[in-house]
C-alpha cells in the first residue's frame, strides 16, 4: 500500500454501535495507510463477538490496541509516543491491557515484548482471528504474540464493522500482501505474499453496504490492479493453476465490472494502483461504467529511470508516460494523483529534474510527497547508503511540493464554470452552513447546505477554487439518487 492517510487524519480512535450484552471496552487507534483503517474494522468485528464494545475514552478501556505503520519513520515515532501515553494511563488503571497490531507489530515484536516491555500482546496483520486466544493468554499473566504471515488469510469471511463511519463511504478490502519488492518498502516483509479474496464475497459485502445506505466504496489493496482470483492461493502460484482455473479466473478489470453492475448507483473507487500492474482492460472498464469514478491514484515514486531501477520499480519513465497517455485518451476527464519519494540514495540533480519534468508532463491533481527515510529490513537499507544530505532532500521536496501546488491550482481553475456531481459526506470544517463532499475526480467540493442531506448526490456549479478545493452552489439533485 503506497498511499498514506494524511498525517492530520492519523490516529483516529474508532467507535461502533455498542452491543448491550458486551461488558468490556476496546479503544483502538489506526495509523498509516487505508488498509490499516480497514483492518481495524475487522479487529473490532472479531472482538465484538468476544464481549468488547468500542470506546473513545482511553481511560475507561479494558483493552487498548494501536494499528501501526512501518512505511515511514515518522509514523513509527508517532506510535511510540502513543504507547507512552497508553502506559501512563495503565499505571492508573493496572487492569488495562495494551497491544500493538499491524506492520510495526511484525517488525518490532521482540523489542516491544521482551526488551522494552511496553505492551502485553503483539499481533501481526494475518493473525487477527487469533486475538481471542491471545487476550486469554494475557489475562492469565503471559505475554502473547502471533506475527505468523499467512498464504491464505484474506478475512473474506469477516463482516467488518464500520467504525466512526459517515454512513456514506466505506473501504472493501480485496487483496492482502505484496509481491513487488520495491527496495524502499517494508510491506512485503510485514504483510506477506500477495493473495486475493473470493470475488463473490466482495460483491456480497458491496451489496450489504448498499442495503445499509452506503453510496460509495473503495476497493482496497496494496496493489489492487494485480487482483487475481483463481479459486484461492498466492498470485505467484497462478502459473501452476489448472487450465480450468486459468480460464475461469477473475482479474481486476472483471472484478470492477462485477461490482459496478451489482450496484449501478453506487460510486466505485479503488486504491492503490501500481503502474506495472495497471492494464488497458482496467481503463476500458472505467470508461465503460459511469459509476466507476474517473480517478486513479498512480504512484510513480521517481521520474528518473536510473532511480526507478534502484527502487526496483518494474516500470520505466516512458512506460509510465504511455499509461498516462492511454488514461487521458480513454478517460479525458480522469483525475490522477501520485506518490513521490525524493532523496533516494544516489539521487542526483539530474534525477531530480527528471522527476520535475515528469510532473510537468502529467500535471497531477494532487499527490503524496515525501523525503526518503531508510526503513530497517528493506533492500535499500541493506545495500544502499542513505547518502543524500537532509538539507538537499528538504529543498528538493519543497520544489516538488511547489510544482504540485501549481498544477493542483491549474486543475481546479479549469473546473470553474462547469457543473460537477458531488456526494455529500459531511459538514464543511470551515462553515456549518456548507456541505463538503468530493466529485468523481476526488476533488473536495464545498457548497451551501440548503435542503440537501449527507448521502445526497448533488449537481454543483463551480464558481471559485483553491488549489485543493472547489467552491460552488448547488443547482439540484443528480439523477444518481
Q: Say whether both 245 and 366 belong to one domain.
A: yes
Q: Say whether both 399 and 441 belong to one domain.
A: no
- pTM recorded for the entire structure: 0.86
Answer yes or no: is 33 a known binding residue. yes
Q: Say whether both 136 and 226 belong to one domain.
A: no
With respect to residue 162, please indicate whether it lies within any of the assigned structural domains: no
With respect to residue 241, please indicate whether it lies within any of the assigned structural domains: yes
Peptide bond preceding 272 in cis form (omega within 30 of 0): yes
Q: Say whether both 353 and 467 belong to one domain.
A: no
DSSP, res 97 = E
Instruction: Tell which residue, 289, 262, 213, has the closest CA to residue 456.
Output: 213
Answer yes or no: is 465 a known binding residue. no
With respect to residue 108, please indicate whether it lies within any of the assigned structural domains: yes
What is the radius of gyration, based on Cα positions, of the chain? 22
Answer yes or no: is 334 a known binding residue. no
Mean pLDDT value of segment 337-350: 98
Q: Which residues in 260-271 are b (16+ Cβ under 10 Å) and which e?
A: beebeebbbbbb
Answer yes or no: is 293 a known binding residue. no
With respect to residue 158, please indicate whether it lies within any of the assigned structural domains: no
Query: Greater confidence, 55 or 410?
Result: 410
Instruction: Give the CATH number, domain containing residue 290.
Output: 3.80.30.20
Which of the listed residues 114, 146, 178 is the one where a domain comes to its end?
146
Q: Say whether both 125 and 266 belong to one domain.
A: no
Instruction: Give the CATH number, domain containing residue 437.
Output: 2.40.50.140
Q: Say whether both 408 and 423 belong to one domain.
A: no
Mean pLDDT value of segment 361-380: 94
Residue 15 has pLDDT above 60, yes or no: no
What per-residue confidence (pLDDT) applies to 263? 97
Angle at 204 between CA 200 and CA 205, to 5 degrees: 120
Q: Say whether both 118 and 246 belong to one domain.
A: no
Please give the share of the chain, as a percent, with pLDDT higher than 70: 94
Instruction: Give the CATH number, domain containing residue 122.
Output: 3.40.50.12160
pLDDT one-digit tens code per residue, 130-183: 999 999 999 888 888 988 888 888 888 887 877 766 889 999 999 998 999 999
pLDDT one-digit tens code per residue, 406-438: 999 999 999 999 999 999 999 999 999 999 999
Domain coverage including residue 433 = 418-477
Amino acid at each position: 500500500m503506497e498511499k498514506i492517510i494524511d498525517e492530520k487524519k492519523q490516529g483516529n480512535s474508532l467507535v461502533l454501535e455498542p452491543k448491550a450484552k458486551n461488558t468490556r471496552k476496546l479503544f483502538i487507534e489506526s495509523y498509516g495507510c487505508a488498509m490499516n483503517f480497514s483492518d481495524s474494522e475487522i479487529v473490532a468485528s472479531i472482538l465484538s463477538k468476544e464481549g468488547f464494545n468500542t470506546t473513545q475514552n482511553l481511560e475507561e478501556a479494558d483493552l487498548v490496541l494501536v494499528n501501526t505503520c512501518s512505511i515511514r519513520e515518522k509514523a513509527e515515532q508517532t506510535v511510540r509516543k502513543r504507547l507512552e501515553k497508553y502506559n501512563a494511563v495503565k499505571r492508573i488503571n493496572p487492569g488495562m491491557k495494551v497491544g500493538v497490531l499491524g506492520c510495526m507489530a511484525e517488525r518490532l515484536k521482540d523489542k516491544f515484548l521482551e526488551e522494552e516491555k511496553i505492551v502485553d500482546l503483539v499481533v501481526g496483520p494475518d493473525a487477527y482471528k487469533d486475538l481471542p486466544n491471545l487476550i486469554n493468554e494475557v489475562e492469565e499473566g503471559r505475554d502473547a504474540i502471533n506475527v505468523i504471515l499467512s498464504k491464505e488469510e484474506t478475512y473474506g469471511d469477516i463482516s467488518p464493522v464500520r467504525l466512526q463511519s459517515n454512513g456514506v463511504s466505506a473501504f472493501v478490502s480485496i487483496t492482502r500482501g505484496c509481491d513487488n519488492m520495491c527496495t524502499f518498502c517494508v510491506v512485503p516483509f510485514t504483510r506477506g505474499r500477495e493473495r486475493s479474496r473470493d470475488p463473490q464475497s466482495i460483491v456480497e459485502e458491496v451489496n450489504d453496504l448498499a442495503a445499509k445506505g452506503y453510496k460509495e466504496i473503495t476497493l482496497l489493496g496494496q496493489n489492487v490492479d494485480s487482483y487475481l482470483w483463481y479459486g484461492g492461493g498466492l498470485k505467484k502460484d497462478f502459473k501452476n493453476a489448472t487450465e480450468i482455473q486459468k480460464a475461469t479466473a477473475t482479474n481486476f478489470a472483471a472484478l470492477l465490472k462485477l461490482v459496478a453492475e451489482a450496484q449501478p448507483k453506487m460510486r466505485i473507487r479503488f486504491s492503490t494502483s501500481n503502474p506495472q500492474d495497471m492494464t488497458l482492460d482496467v481503463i476500458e472498464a472505467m470508461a465503460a461504467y459511469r459509476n466507476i469514478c474517473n480517478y486513479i491514484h498512480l504512484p510513480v515514486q521517481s521520474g528518473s529511470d536510473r532511480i526507478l531501477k534502484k527502487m526496483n520499480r518494474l516500470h520505466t519513465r516512458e512506460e509510465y508516460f504511455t499509461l498516462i497517455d492511454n488514461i487521458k485518451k480513454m478517460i479525458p476527464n480522469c483525475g490522477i494523483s501520485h506518490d513521490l519519494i525524493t532523496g533516494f540514495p544516489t539521487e542526483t540533480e539530474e534525477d531530480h529534474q527528471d522527476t520535475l519534468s515528469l510532473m510537468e508532463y502529467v500535471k497531477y491533481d494532487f499527490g503524496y510527497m515525501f523525503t526518503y527515510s531508510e526503513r530497517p529490513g528493506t533492500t535499500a537499507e541493506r545495500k544502499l547508503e542513505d547518502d543524500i544530505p537532509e538539507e538537499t532532500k528538504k529543498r528538493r521536496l519543497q520544489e516538488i511540493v511547489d510544482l504540485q501546488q501549481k498544477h493542483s491550482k491549474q486543475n481546479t481553475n479549469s473546473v470553474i464554470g462547469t457543473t460537477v456531481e458531488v456526494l455529500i459526506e459531511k459538514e464543511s470544517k470551515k462553515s456549518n452552513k456548507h456541505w463538503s463532499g468530493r466529485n468523481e475526480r476526488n476533488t473536495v467540493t464545498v457548497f451551501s447546505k440548503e435542503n440537501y442531506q449527507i448521502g445526497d448526490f448533488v449537481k454543483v456549479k463551480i464558481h471559485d477554487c483553491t488549489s485543493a478545493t472547489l467552491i460552488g452552489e448547488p443547482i439540484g439533485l443528480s439523477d444518481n439518487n
